[in-house]
A = this chain, B = another copy of it.
Amino acid sequence: MTGGRWLVAKLSNLMPLSTDETRLIEGLCTNEQRFDAGATVVEEGAVLQSGFVLTAGMACRYRLLRDGRRQILTFLIPGDFCDLHVFLTKAMDHSIDTIVASRLAWVAREAVVDLVGHHPRISAALWWSAMQEAAMLRERVVAVGRRNARSRVAYLLCELVWRQRAIGMTAGNSIPLPLTQPQLGDTLGLTPVHINRVLQQFRRDGLVRLKQRHLTLLDIDRLMEIAGLDDSYLHLGGAPDYTQRLFDRLDQEQPPPPANSGTG
């Protein structure tokens, strides 16, 4: 029952939700399954019958190259819906592994389609959430395409902290960081060796504290400066009023949803 709260937190940041809507979303997240750290949740090429919501822990999407190297695409934190697209996609074009022991709640394709079809505001919130993911991916392209190692590392550390703040997992500048240096390298297109050197430098410069799998940003302003970010990044604000009105109107047009919308 608590697993859905991160998703609710995320979505209601984007679009205010009624009690009913909140309940529906939490209702999605009841079918939880535990995974060990380092477990493969979904493999490239798989055809999923259900999507899922990460309800605890951390995971990553990644692609393996033929020579065995890999590129991590995004990290999933609690409340991340993966894969919203599953009800359209034929086969996954990437894999998903847990980083630490995690829980995730499976959601039947039909339940998602019904929810999206009958609840415009939820649908909009999910859209928005997908847009944020896309925005983060664009930021990643910019980082990997045009920035040096120092900037990339600074950017990723900031992103990780901000995302956890956005769902209320932390208030300060400090988060658990279960990622290894090889994983950071796979994310940023760098080698573990070089990640290490950059982090050493950051520590010497008093920019971060990082030990025992725990990260603290000591000088956010300089980190953002190094990362080349400005604080508009991530669109973390909610939907503007006119958007909300548009979807409210659609909502009122809706026929009453079937009593049980999950079993289509």
Contacts and interface: CB of A to CB of B under 8 A. Distances in A.
Contacts of A237: 90
A127 B89 CA distance: 10
Contacts of A134: 85, 130, 133-134, 137
Contact of A110 (B71, B88, B189, B246): B246
A190 to B, nearest CB: 9
A113 to B, nearest CB: 5
A113 B249 CA distance: 10
Given A63-B138, A93-B235, A135-B93, A146 B113 contact: no
Given A141-B141, A253-B255, A88 B146 contact: no
A4 interface: no
A45 B235 CA distance: 11
Given A110-B246, A131-B85, A146 B253 contact: no
Nearest to A254: B255
A70 to B, nearest CB: 8
Contact of A142 (B63, B120, B228, B233): B63
A71 B253 contact: no
A188 to B, nearest CB: 7
A87 interface: yes
A261 to B, nearest CB: 11
B138 A94 contact: yes
Contacts of A113: 246-247, 250
Given A66-B228, A142-B71, A255-B255, A117 B250 contact: yes
A113 B69 CA distance: 42
Given A117-B120, A145-B189, 14 more contacts: A61-B138, A63-B142, A66-B228, A71-B142, A85-B131, A88-B128, A88-B243, A90-B240, A93-B232, A93-B233, A94-B138, A113-B246, A134-B137, A255-B255
List 6 tightest A-B contacts by C-beta distance, closest first.
Answer: A145-B189, A117-B250, A71-B142, A144-B145, A71-B146, A71-B145
